[in-house]
Structure 1
Amino acid sequence: MILRSRRIWQFSVLVTSLFLPLYPILAEPEALNPVKAFYGYEDLLRMAEDKIVQETPAKAFDFLIKAKELNPDPDYRYYNLQAQAHMKLGQVFDGIHAYEESIKRKKDQLDLVLFVADFYEKEKKPRESLYYTKFYLEQKPKAKYRLYLAAILSRQLGLETDYESYMQILENDKTFDSEKEALQTSLLKNIKNRKWKEADDLSLRYLVYFPREEGMYETLILARRGRNSELLEQAYIWTATVFLKETRYFTRYGVYLQEKERYLEALSLFRRGFYNLLKYDPNSDAKEILFLVRQSYANLGKDRDTLAIDSLVKDFQNQKNLTATELENHMSTYRKNREYLLFCIYWFSTRDTDKTNEYRKRLRERDLEFEESEFLRVMGPFAALPQEL
């Protein structure tokens, strides 16, 4: 009996051993990914780079996806390749975001930091540009041009203390003070002789040493206009920023935008010019700035606002003899016109506090209503600054 049981056990072991090699064959096979099976993370990055170099960036993403599957937290090189692929496909903002991810992982990529900072400055996004400019200055605190840009961007965001701090750092360097007159003579000579590039280069080089010298900005604008430079708008923006309380530089920048048929942006500049006029220079002649505001409304097809400015010009000229009843009657006709509301705030500010506050409230309500259609909060480099009296 024992012998029989032993034979049965031996037979069962034999049968089991014969069929064991068949189990992997009979089981459901796992899908094999040849890319993952034969290539590692480094290989996949190299293959993605090859596709970008070969001008087939869309195919690079296939290898980048596989690379991230192997390494769910990829290093800076992965994001640089992703950015390059996006850029070549014209997906600029996706590319910039990828570069930002790369910078987070490797902070000493200073050329890349400047590239992102300059991109955001060109896009008129001062907050983002200032972030990366400051990031650069943490590693290169004596970079004069970047100190200057940090000052410009700070003021555009209303950070006046930071603006003054950066300007003081620049102005404390007296290296070229003794050459100031000779420099200005040289600049004017270049302008007179139409040597636009020389004047542009010279203005830009020394601007950081004389950041509040008006003549430096005048020659920079003239030089860039003379050579039809794509950086002319940047010169207008810098000038309007440094001389923020002036009206004429907003007017000149706005006229430039009109020439480019960017009428809504031009309107935003002329509006700030009118605001500056009421706040800082109320005795000046408002005819020119209001004419340009009117022209912008006409170009935008805003007929009612165009008529409003015609009426406002008369009220502005007659403001000493104007009565509250007359002004409010005119205002009720054009109750949504921004310039009329500003003028009412200005006119009542020395006559009736309650009326002043009422029109301030109406201006806020009006801006809220037109915020999207007029891009009030995102239009241009000065959108973050207040325009209420």
Structure 2
Amino acid sequence: MILRSRRIWQFGVLATSLFLVSSPNLAETEVLNPVKAFYGYEDLLRMAEDKIVQETPAKAFDFLIKAKEINPDPDFRYHNLAARAHMKLGQIFEGIHAYEESIKKKKDQLDLILYVADFYEKERKQKEALFYTQLYLEQKPNAKYRLYTAAILSRQLGLELEYEKYMQSLESDKTFVSEKEALQTSLLKNIKNKKWKEADDLSLRYLVYFPREEAMYETLILARRGRQSELLEQAYQWTATVFLNETRYFTRYGVYLQEKQRYLESLSLFRRGFYNLLKFYPNSDAGEILFLIRQSYANLGKDRDTLAIDSLVKDFMNQNKLTAIELENHQNTYRKNREYLLFCIYWFTKHDTAKANEFRQKLKDRDSEFEELEFLRVIGPFSILPQDL
């Protein structure tokens, strides 16, 4: 009996061994993941969303990872959920990137496109902001506020043809031309009576119909300053962009930034104002803009540059009596001062073209040296635009 039982047991072991050898796939079967086995792609997305709603966004990624394993090329909903989870975790740029992936999958998500465009505009990434604004306009070509935004961004990027295209599109609408005078009267009345909100709302509403009307910008700035609006800087920025060749709006924008103790940014705007003065209004008084530049250097603790402006003020006032040797000697004393180099280019352009070109190269070399220290290529909305004569 014992012998018979042993033979039965040995036969069972042999049969099992033969079965495993002849069926290797079954013998080596991967352990099933219960989440993947019992839940599909749609289920996993729903569970990920539940975790986001329940304020446990980190756990949402567990389900999103499994969803992507099932569907390696997930749809826009997957990317939107990933974006929401990132945002809940404070991972803003990762969230924006996920939203961008979503837009690639489904380009008619208009609210999402505007969200991404506005984010990049606030981050002063004009190129990206313009891309998404244009993507929106492809689907909503008559959206006036976005046409205006596209115009502003285009000019800040130096795309003058694009800027003109958008501005002319806005100006082609003559709906309120006959009401222009009455509108301006109403705006001035609101300003006089300190009805700041009404003036702000009215200016913003009609600005897109009169995008190059200076009075509209003046009332917008006054209204937002009066109500202490967080959007005051936006008004200054728009104004300086539309009236790009003026000095006074860069001066006013710079003074605003000085009040906020953003001294390096204010310096970049005052420099732009000085550039405009030399290029477009060379016979104007440079006293105010140079004083503000000097003040910026003092606020930044740049004593050498502060002294340079003191010397430059005298040279600017006496430029008709200056000799080339005198100017070069003065500039050599403050070799790295940007304003002196710019003034030398301006002055020598009228007296010695070759020497002016030498100073152009010196300015280029100087800017390369100080590019990172002064954030020359990135600080402010006008950093991409040229500033040499």
State the TM-score, normalized to the length of structure 2. 0.93
Q: How does 1:164-183 map to 2 (within 5 A)?
A: 164-183=164-183
Distance 1:40 1:213 in 2: 58
Aligned to 2:271: 271
Distance 1:340 1:45, change over 3 A: same
Opposite residue 312 of structure 2, the aligned amino acid is: L
Which position in structure 2 is the counterpart of 1:371?
A: 371
> Quick check: 1:320 aligned with 2:325?
no
Alpha-carbon distance change, 61 to 14 in structure 1, aligned in 2, over 3 angstroms: closer
In the alignment, what sits opposite 1:350?
350
Report the Cα offset of residue 314 of structure 1: 1.1
CA separation in 1, counterparts of 2:340 and 2:251? 19
Q: Distance in 2 between matches of 1:388 and 1:31?
A: 68
Q: Give CA deviations for 1:211-232 in whole Å, capped at 9, x if unaligned.
A: 0000100111111111222211
Query: 1:301 and 1:31, CA in 2 relative to 1: closer, same or farther beyond 3 A?
Result: farther
Give deviations 1:32-88, integer Å, cap 9, x for gaps: 423222222111111111111112222222221221121111111111111111112
Q: What secondary structure is seen at the aligned counterpart in 2 of 1:63? A: helix
* Deviation (angstroms), 1:123: 1.4
Please state how far the C-alpha of 1:20 moved relative to its aligned partner: 5.4
Once the 2 structures are TM-superposed, how far is the Cα of residue 13 of structure 1 from its aligned partner? 9.3
Q: Does 1:62 align with 2:62?
A: yes
CA shift for structure 1 position 17: 4.0
SS at match of 1:228: coil
1:324-335 matches, cutoff 5 A: 324-335=324-335
Shift of 1:336: 0.7
Q: Which amino acid aligns with 2:309?
A: I
Whole-Å Cα distance in 1 between the matches of residues 378 and 131 of structure 2? Answer: 18
User: Which residue does the alignment assign to 2:282?
Assistant: 282
Comparing 25-34 with 180-189, greater Cα deviation is found at 25-34
Note the alpha carbon deviations across 1:129-172, whole angstroms, 9 max, x for none.
11111111111111111111111111111111111111111111
Question: For the residues of structure 2 that align with 1:115 and 1:375, how far apart are their CA atoms?
Answer: 27
Shift of residue 182, structure 1, vs aligned partner: 0.8
Which residue type is aligned with residue 349 of structure 1?
T
1:159 aligns with 2:162: no
Partner amino acid for 1:189?
K
Aligned residue for 1:331, secondary structure, equals helix
Q: Post-superposition shift, 1:330?
A: 1.0
Q: Deviations over 1:241-283 (max 9, x none)?
A: 0000000100111111111111111111010000000000011
Three-state SS of the structure 1 residue aligned to 2:209 is: coil
1:190 and 2:190 correspond: yes
Distance 1:161 1:30 in 2: 62
Runs of at least 5 residues in structure 2 that lack an aligned partner in the other structure: 1-9
Measured in 2, the distance between the counterparts of 1:175 and 1:324 equals: 57
User: Residues of 2 paired with 1:31 and 1:332: CA distance?
Assistant: 78
- 1:117 corresponds to which residue? 117
Q: Secondary structure at the match of 1:376?
A: coil
Q: CA deviation at 1:18?
A: 5.2
1:141 is matched with 141
Q: Which residue of 2 aligns with 1:4?
A: none
Question: Which region of structure 1 is more displaced relative to structure 2, 233-242 or 162-171?
Answer: 162-171
Q: Which amino acid aligns with 1:245?
A: N
Q: Secondary structure at the match of 2:385?
A: coil
- Letter matched to residue 321 of structure 1: K
Matches of 2:312 and 2:12, distance apart in 1: 107
Of 17-26 and 48-57, deviating more is: 17-26
In the alignment of these two chains, the number of paired residues is 379
Q: Percent identity?
A: 81
Q: How does 1:1-150 map to 2 (within 5 A)?
A: 17=15, 19=17, 27=27, 30-150=30-150
Aligned residue type for 2:256: Y
Q: Structure 1 length as normaliser, TM-score? A: 0.93
